[in-house]
């Protein structure tokens, strides 16, 4: 037995496995892999055959999956998609900050902070209940119609503001769930060590809470990416509107399919990233239990 | 477990493939038997292959706007297109109560698959690209595009297309009005695109755009009935002097010949012109020069 100081840290975490069992496990793994591939290929082949051999398929292919249409629609779609990305990035930045403030406001327990709590609660209740589409129309057409001096009437700006208002309410609730999931003993322990209430929130509660809610946060942002299309109600040509223009000029829906692929193309990395974060988090939290 | 799952999945799949095979065979025989268009055809409610025998099913979108329809009710025979639809039906021998109306959103009118109308009347302009997906009747109205602006707008007194080039214009999505902006006016700023003319009017009132482009009959209606402070800046023939509204029918519809015969008879008898004079008034808006 070596002394603890000399023991390599990794050594005890590699469990001893009987070589025979290991070989068996490997064989089973190969067989499972084979069955999985065969079943996947068969199922997809049958699906593909069923769809492409159906009587209406040539017409559907012509209307939804037309390569020439896709190529001719591509330049205007990609140009319009830049607007979606811009709206998304700006909105996400403000949402992250504002919703955290709202969530903290709702969590205030000091008697003097009651008005803040009431306001935050009313805000969340209201904007979660009202359809985003109404907020967009109200701000996008309503505010400019007031003809206030010095206030922009840009539909893109007001559409983005509406998205921020609406999504801040959702994201604030995600944050709040995270904050409330932190066990009160954490706060009590931090206070007993002499940290102030603000310091406790900042250094003990929030870091744990935010880590916990990263997957649902990303989920909301993926939804937000798609909701940017609602801004088109106010006139700006974003990718779905661009697809609609193309579709109605040519009586062909292919442009919608291309627009959908563009959305998938940017949400996929984000989805995979969320999965990875979740796995890493689980691994870390389980590390002590192993 | 797994094997039985594959087996149970395979049985319905095979059955479905057999069904699909039958269906596609049935389809080929049906399409080869479809009548080829002839110059003269016996057109009566008894012989015409309408959706429901003895009934003419006509589609239009909702809300149905003046001056094409009145009171959002296509069945009252009021408004230009309602009157044209009933005149065509009458010409084909259908009495008023043999006509049924269905709501057909514009985006759905060109979807592949079976149509739920015999013809769709919804201010749809005939273009070569659209004819790849559907069949159109001959035109029943030659339409010009018009620019509507508030009387204090910077473009209120424009007389040439060049003067419109610096302006911010709006139009309804899916209309040739939008094509007119991008192809003929070619403004330096991207046009704003709306779901319907009502949203475009909101944006016009809110000062987000300098003018909207609509078809001339709509322009007359907007300026005469809806807006006191707006005017028609000018009109312009959108597609080389000849853009026509046509009745939309399914690709290969057996009714095209009969509908065209009816339209020709209505034109020859002057009835179409008198319907137009009754519902679409005013043609004295100035023409734009290049």
User: What was the pLDDT predicted at B238?
Assistant: 60
Q: Shortest CA distance to A241 belongs to which of B202, B192, B170?
A: B192
User: Where does B17-80 show beta strands of DSSP type E?
Assistant: 56-60
- Give the per-residue pLDDT at A176: 93
- B263 in Cβ contact with B88 (< 8 Å): yes
Question: Residue A15 has what pLDDT?
Answer: 64
- Coil, helix or strand for B242? coil
Nearest to A55 among B27, B110, B194 (CB): B27
Helical ranges in chain A per DSSP H:
19-52, 57-64, 67-107, 114-129, 132-137, 143-145, 155-180, 184-192, 197-199, 206-227, 239-250, 254-287
B160 pLDDT band, cuts 50/70/90, is confident
> Which of A236, A244, A250 lies at the smallest CB-CB distance from B192?
A236
The shortest C-alpha distance from B172 to chain A (Å) reads 9
Q: What is the ipTM of this complex?
A: 0.71
Question: Which chain B residues are closer than 8 Å to A42 by Cβ?
Answer: 6, 10
> Which residues of chain A lie closer than 8 angstroms to B206, CB-CB?
141, 144-145, 147, 153
Decide if pLDDT at B216 tops 90. no
Residue range A60-75: mean pLDDT, rounded: 88
Quote the CA–CA distance of B184 and B165 in Å, as a whole number. 10
Least confident of A136-150, B143-157, B169-183, B234-248: B234-248
Task: Evaluate if residue B34 carries a pLDDT over 60.
Answer: no
pLDDT tens-digit series, residues B107-150: 888 888 788 999 999 989 898 888 888 999 998 988 888 899 99
- Asked if B129 and A249 come within 8 Å (Cβ–Cβ), the reply is yes
Q: Which residues make Cβ contacts (< 8 Å) with residue B119, sequence separation at least 6?
A: B58, B59, B88, B137, B247, B248, B249, B253, B255, B259
Q: What is the pLDDT of residue B67?
A: 86
The partner residue sitting opposite A155, judged by closest CB among B129, B179, B192, is B192
B18 touches chain A (CB under 8 A): no
Q: What is the model's pLDDT at position B241?
A: 56
Chain B residue with Cα closest to A45: B13
> What's the rounded mean pLDDT across residues A102-123?
90
The verdict on a CB contact (< 8 Å) between B170 and A251 is: no
Rounded to an integer, the average pLDDT of B202-211 is 89
pLDDT-based confidence at B29, cuts 50/70/90? very low
**Per-residue model confidence (pLDDT) at position A153:** 84
Smallest CA–CA distance, residue A220 to chain B, in Å, is: 26
Q: Residue A215's pLDDT is what?
A: 84
List of chain A residues whose C-beta atoms are within 8 Å of the C-beta of residue B127 = 249
Q: Taking the mean position of all CA atoms in its chain, how far away is CA A171?
A: 10
- Whether residue B132 and residue A251 make contact (CB cut-off 8 A), yes or no, is yes
Q: Which residue has the higher pLDDT, A7 or A131?
A: A131
Confidence of residue A232 (pLDDT cuts 50, 70, 90): very high
Does position B22 have pLDDT exceeding 50, yes or no? no
Cα dihedral A136/B111/B116/B87 (nearest 10) = 90
Please state the rounded mean pLDDT for residues A42-47.
91
Which residue, chain included where needed, has tokens 């944050």? A175
CA distance B64 to chain A (A): 18
pLDDT above 70 covers a percentage of chain B that reads: 83
In this prediction, residue B84 carries a pLDDT of 92
Q: Residue B177 — very low, low, confident or very high, per pLDDT cuts 50/70/90?
A: confident
Using pLDDT thresholds of 50, 70 and 90, give the confidence band for residue B87.
Answer: very high
Give the pLDDT band of residue B41 (cuts 50, 70, 90).
low
H or E stretch at B114: none
Three-state DSSP at A195 gives coil
A63, A153, A248: residue with CB nearest B207: A153
Q: What is the average pLDDT across B153-163?
A: 86
Please state which of the ranges A148-162, B30-44, B214-228 shows the lowest mean pLDDT. Answer: B30-44
pLDDT > 50? residue A12: yes
Q: Is B227 touching A (CB cutoff 8 A)?
A: no
- Residue B207 has its nearest CB partner, among A53, A147, A234, at A147
Higher per-residue pLDDT: A63 or A257? A257
Kindly identify which residue of chain A lies nearest to residue B200, measuring between CA atoms.
Answer: A235
**What tens digit of pLDDT does each residue of A182-221 get?**
999 999 999 999 999 889 999 999 999 998 898 888 889 8
Report pLDDT digits (tens) over A170-181.
999 999 999 999
B18 token code pair = 């057999």
pLDDT > 60? residue B36: no
Burial code (b: 16+ CB inside 10 Å, e: under 16) for B223-248 equals beeebeebbbbbbbbbbeeebbbbbb
Q: With 60 as the cut, is the pLDDT of residue B17 above it?
A: no
pLDDT, residue A275, reads 83
Q: What is the mean pLDDT of residues A152-160?
A: 91
């Amino acid at each position: 037995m070596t002394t603890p100081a000399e023991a390599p840290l990794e050594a005890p975490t590699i469990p001893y496995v009987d070589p025979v069992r290991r070989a068996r496990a490997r064989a089973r793994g190969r067989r499972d892999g084979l069955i999985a591939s065969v079943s996947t290929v068969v199922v997809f082949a049958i699906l593909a055959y069923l769809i492409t051999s159906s009587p209406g398929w040539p017409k559907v292919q012509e209307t939804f999956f037309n390569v020439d249409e896709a190529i001719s629609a591509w330049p205007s779609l990609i140009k319009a998609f830049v607007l979606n990305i811009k709206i998304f990035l700006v909105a996400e930045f403000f949402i992250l900050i504002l919703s955290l403030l709202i969530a903290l406001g709702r969590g205030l327990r000091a008697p003097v902070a009651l008005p803040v709590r009431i306001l935050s609660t009313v805000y969340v209740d209201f904007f979660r209940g009202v359809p985003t589409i109404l907020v967009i129309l109200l701000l996008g057409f309503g505010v400019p119609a007031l003809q206030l001096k010095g206030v922009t009437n840009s539909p893109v700006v007001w559409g983005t503001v509406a998205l921020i208002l609406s999504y801040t309410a959702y994201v604030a609730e995600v944050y709040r769930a995270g904050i409330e999931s932190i066990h009160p003993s954490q706060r009590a322990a931090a206070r007993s060590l002499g940290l102030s209430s603000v310091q406790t929130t900042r250094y003990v509660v929030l870091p744990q809470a935010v880590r916990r809610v990263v997957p649902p946060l990303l989920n909301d942002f993926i939804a937000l990416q798609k909701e940017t299309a609602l801004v088109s109600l106010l006139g700006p040509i974003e990718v779905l509107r661009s697809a609609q223009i193309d579709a109605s000029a040519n009586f062909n829906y292919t442009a919608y399919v291309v627009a959908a692929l563009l959305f998938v193309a940017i949400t996929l990395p984000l989805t995979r990233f969320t999965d990875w974060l979740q796995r890493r988090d689980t691994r870390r939290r389980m590390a002590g239990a192993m | 477990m797994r094997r039985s799952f594959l087996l149970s999945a395979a049985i319905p799949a095979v059955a479905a493939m057999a069904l699909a095979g039958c269906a596609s065979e049935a389809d080929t025989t049906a399409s080869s038997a479809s009548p080829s268009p002839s110059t003269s055809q016996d057109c009566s409610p008894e012989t015409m292959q309408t959706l429901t025998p003895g009934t003419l099913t006509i589609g239009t979108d909702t809300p149905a706007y003046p001056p094409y329809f009145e009171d959002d009710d296509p069945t009252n025979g009021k408004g230009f297109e309602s009157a044209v639809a009933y005149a065509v039906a009458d010409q084909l021998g259908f009495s008023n109560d043999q006509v049924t109306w269905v709501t057909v959103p514009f985006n759905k009118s060109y979807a592949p698959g079976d149509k739920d109308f015999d013809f769709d009347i919804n201010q749809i302009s005939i273009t070569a690209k659209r004819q790849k997906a559907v069949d159109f009747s001959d035109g029943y109205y030659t339409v010009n595009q018009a620019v509507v602006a508030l009387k204090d707008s910077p473009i209120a007194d424009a007389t040439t297309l060049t003067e419109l080039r610096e302006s911010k214009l709006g139009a309804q999505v899916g209309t040739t009005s939008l094509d007119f902006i991008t192809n003929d006016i070619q403004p330096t700023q991207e046009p704003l695109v709306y779901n319907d003319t009502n949203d475009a009017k909101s944006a016009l009132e809110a000062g987000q755009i300098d003018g909207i482009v609509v078809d001339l009959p709509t322009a007359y209606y907007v300026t005469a009935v809806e807006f006191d402070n707006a005017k028609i800046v000018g009109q312009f023939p959108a597609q080389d002097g000849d853009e026509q509204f046509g009745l939309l029918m399914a690709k290969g519809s057996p009714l095209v010949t009969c509908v065209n015969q009816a339209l020709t008879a209505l034109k020859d008898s002057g009835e179409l012109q008198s319907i137009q004079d009754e519902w679409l008034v005013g043609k004295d808006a100035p023409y734009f020069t290049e």
